[in-house]
A and B are shown apart, each in its own frame.
Chain A
Amino acid sequence: MDIHFEKVNFTYQPNTPFEQRALFDIDLLIKEGSYTALVGHTGSGKSTLLQHLNALVKPTSGSVQIGDRKITPETDNKNLKPIRKKVGIVFQFPEAQLFEETVARDIAFGPKNFGVGEEVALEIAKAALIQVGLDETYLNRSPFELSGGQMRRVAIAGVLAMKPEVLVLDEPTAGLDPQGRKEMMEMFWQLHKEQKITIVLVTHLMDDVANYADFVYVLEKGKIVKSGEPREVFQDLNWLKEKQLGVPTATEFAELLSEKGITMSELPLTAEELADEIVRLSGGIAHDE
């Protein structure tokens, strides 16, 4: 299922003194089965943009094609559920959305809203919980007695339980410890590889973009200022620094090396690429999988 933005504009509170334009002529394509990253400063419109992905908001002008549905400013608010089932969004700090008495019921809440029977929904909940790395003993506990990291997992399980075709992640690892961060990112990567789920990742962490994404959109002040594969986007370090966007650590280190006279044909993005490059330069044979 492709998601295609065409000339999307969005204004908050139009026709009031508090009017605020958030998106300007956004053209964007999220291909089925891709791993797309959206990066940009706070307030660049990332979060506004991602609410368009499952029709939580409608564009003020332009259109968003989600699968076979076209969302335009005139689209009716009814009958959007099928879209919401296909496009699951994990919002920033999703633990704030927990409300049920038990973890199991909270995870089953999504599927039940989309018409899955109670029994089946609880089965799905169990599977989703295991998927996010918690065991069955948590099923009957209250979500509010869990730790912050565990709550986050439960909330994410609640979205995964809807079995979305497209998974949108708004800074899913913000506030997690390094271990939890890595586990979570690996889990999303597994989903992407094994179940062919399309992933849209909104993040500030360029290392995650370099490690996982196959396409990047850079947003600034509500406009897309650059797009392409991470390899292209991250080659222009000066541009990134000028825009005060981060640079993957491996790329930054390679840049320092090249300043010292060690020339590389292309700046590496990940630690692995960097290591291979260094081995190659020192005359060894880069390891191959």
Chain B
Amino acid sequence: MMNKLIFGRYMPGDSFIHRLDPRAKLLASFYFIGIIFLANNWQTYLLLAVFTLFAVSLSKVDMKFFIRGIRPLIWLILFTVALQVLFTSGGEVYWHWGIFNITQFGVLNGIFIFCRFVLIIFMSTLLTLTTPPLELSDAIEYLLRPLKVVRFPVHEISLMLSIALRFVPTLMDETEKIMNAQRARGVDFGEGSLVQKMKAIIPLLIPLFVSSFNRAEDLATAMEARGYQGGEGRTKYRVLHWHNQDTMVMGAFALLTVILVVLRG
């Protein structure tokens, strides 16, 4: 079921990107999504594409997995591109029918939107493929820390996040198991009418909820038994280290921004 999904999964490896501090990677990915909107012409998009491909090559992950990451989103991308192409006016008109028209600006906009989507997906796939989920949640906790000032429950949120991340694969396994058990009892998942399909989900959903409740109870008991009392006064086992290479990455992004601003004119 989840076999085809690459986006959001971690692939162990040892590369420059793998060794970066997760905070640097997280910040960089968000920053990249921000500056991608600075791009507005051929030169800027080309620059971003080259930059992204360079980052991808640094990760030593096979290119085809990035391309596969686009697959689940391809219809959304094509739909947006089609809307842009068909409804943007301006420039030379190539084709016209009723309210639809294909124009020079429309085609250009469509291509830009397409590039924007692909680059964003590549960058976020790069982040998740090279960063273990737990490191990612550590990074989020660290970056949210300033929000403590406004009484934002940073520790609780990050605890929930790391528990949630930890149990995603467990729950997936469980889903698969219960699905198989119900299929063995004669349930057809994904067959028949919409109503039938929805009815077939019940024998999967209820056991999943029940086991989640049970698991939550067991986990809470086990945590309490091990002396967990909340966020105050805890020390950390996994400590993040910021190295020179992380500063370098930040520098590269600053440089990229400057060039982008210059090139967009």
| A contact residues vs B (CB 8 Å cutoff) | 12-13, 16-18, 51, 54, 56, 78, 81, 84-85, 88-89, 91-92, 94, 96-99, 109-110, 113-114, 144, 158-159, 162
Q: Which of B3, B9, B183, B184 gathers the greatest number of chain A CB atoms within 10 Å? A: B184
A84-B184 contact, Cβ under 8 Å, with A96-B207, A144-B210: yes
Contacts between the two chains (Cβ within 8 Å), count: 70
A13 cross-chain contacts in B, Cβ below 8 A:
3
Contact B186 A114 (CB under 8 A): yes
Kindly provide the distance from the CB of B258 to the nearest chain A CB, expressed in whole angstroms. Answer: 36
Kindly provide the distance from the CB of A180 to the nearest chain B CB, expressed in whole angstroms. Answer: 20
Tell me whether B262 is interfacial, beta carbon within 8 Å.
Answer: no
Interface residue ranges of B156-203 to A (CB < 8 Å): 174, 177-178, 180-188, 191, 202-203
Contact B203 A94 (CB under 8 A): no
A12 cross-chain contacts in B, Cβ below 8 A:
3
10 residue pairs from A and B, CB less than 8 Å apart? A12-B3, A16-B6, A17-B11, A17-B61, A78-B191, A85-B186, A98-B207, A99-B202, A99-B210, A162-B185
B210 cross-chain contacts in A, Cβ below 8 A:
98-99, 144
A159 cross-chain contacts in B, Cβ below 8 A:
184-185
Tell me whether B206 is interfacial, beta carbon within 8 Å.
Answer: yes
Tell me whether B62 is interfacial, beta carbon within 8 Å.
Answer: yes
Contact B207 A113 (CB under 8 A): no
A87, closest chain B residue (CB): B184
Kindly provide the distance from the CB of A243 to the nearest chain B CB, expressed in whole angstroms. Answer: 27
A16-B3 contact, Cβ under 8 Å, with A56-B180, A109-B185: yes
Kindly provide the distance from the CB of A72 to the nearest chain B CB, expressed in whole angstroms. Answer: 19
Cα-based distance from A93 to B188 in the complex (angstroms): 22
Tell me whether B65 is interfacial, beta carbon within 8 Å.
Answer: yes
Complex partner residue of B186 from A78, A96, A97, A110, CB under 8 angstroms: A110
Q: Which of B181, B185, B210, B211 gathers the greatest number of chain A CB atoms within 10 Å? A: B185
Cα-based distance from A114 to B185 in the complex (angstroms): 8
A109-B203 contact, Cβ under 8 Å, with A13-B3, A16-B3, A96-B174: yes
Complex partner residue of A94 from B68, B181, B187, CB under 8 angstroms: B181
A interface, by DSSP: helix, strand, loop or mixed? mixed
Cα-based distance from A85 to B191 in the complex (angstroms): 18
B207 cross-chain contacts in A, Cβ below 8 A:
96-99
Kindly provide the distance from the CB of A162 to the nearest chain B CB, expressed in whole angstroms. Answer: 7
B interface, by DSSP: helix, strand, loop or mixed? helix
Chain B: residues with Cβ within 8 Å of the partner, total of 28
B9 cross-chain contacts in A, Cβ below 8 A:
18
Cα-based distance from A56 to B68 in the complex (angstroms): 26
Contact B62 A96 (CB under 8 A): no
A113 cross-chain contacts in B, Cβ below 8 A:
185-187
B178 cross-chain contacts in A, Cβ below 8 A:
96-97
Cα-based distance from A97 to B11 in the complex (angstroms): 32
| B contact residues vs A (CB 8 Å cutoff) | 3-4, 6, 9, 11, 61-62, 65, 68, 174, 177-178, 180-188, 191, 202-203, 206-207, 210-211
Cα-based distance from A110 to B65 in the complex (angstroms): 40
A92 cross-chain contacts in B, Cβ below 8 A:
177
Cα-based distance from A110 to B4 in the complex (angstroms): 30
Complex partner residue of B177 from A84, A91, A98, A99, CB under 8 angstroms: A91
Contact A84 B206 (CB under 8 A): no
Cα-based distance from A17 to B4 in the complex (angstroms): 11
Given contacts A91-B180, A97-B182, A97-B185, 15 further A-B contacts (CB under 8 A): A13-B3, A16-B68, A51-B180, A81-B188, A84-B183, A89-B184, A92-B177, A96-B178, A96-B181, A96-B211, A97-B178, A97-B203, A109-B203, A144-B210, A159-B185
A81-B186 contact, Cβ under 8 Å, with A16-B3, A16-B6, A144-B210: yes
B61, closest chain A residue (CB): A17
B6 cross-chain contacts in A, Cβ below 8 A:
16-17
B174, closest chain A residue (CB): A96
B4 cross-chain contacts in A, Cβ below 8 A:
16
Contact B185 A158 (CB under 8 A): yes
Cα-based distance from A97 to B203 in the complex (angstroms): 8
Contact B184 A54 (CB under 8 A): yes
B202 cross-chain contacts in A, Cβ below 8 A:
99
A99-B203 contact, Cβ under 8 Å, with A16-B3, A17-B65: yes
Cα-based distance from A94 to B180 in the complex (angstroms): 11
Closest 8 CB pairs of A and B: A113-B186, A99-B206, A97-B181, A110-B185, A89-B184, A13-B3, A91-B181, A99-B203
Kindly provide the distance from the CB of B124 to the nearest chain A CB, expressed in whole angstroms. Answer: 17
Cα-based distance from A12 to B206 in the complex (angstroms): 27
Cα-based distance from A91 to B173 in the complex (angstroms): 13
Cα-based distance from A18 to B129 in the complex (angstroms): 12
Kindly provide the distance from the CB of B191 to the nearest chain A CB, expressed in whole angstroms. Answer: 8
A98 cross-chain contacts in B, Cβ below 8 A:
207, 210
Contact B181 A89 (CB under 8 A): yes
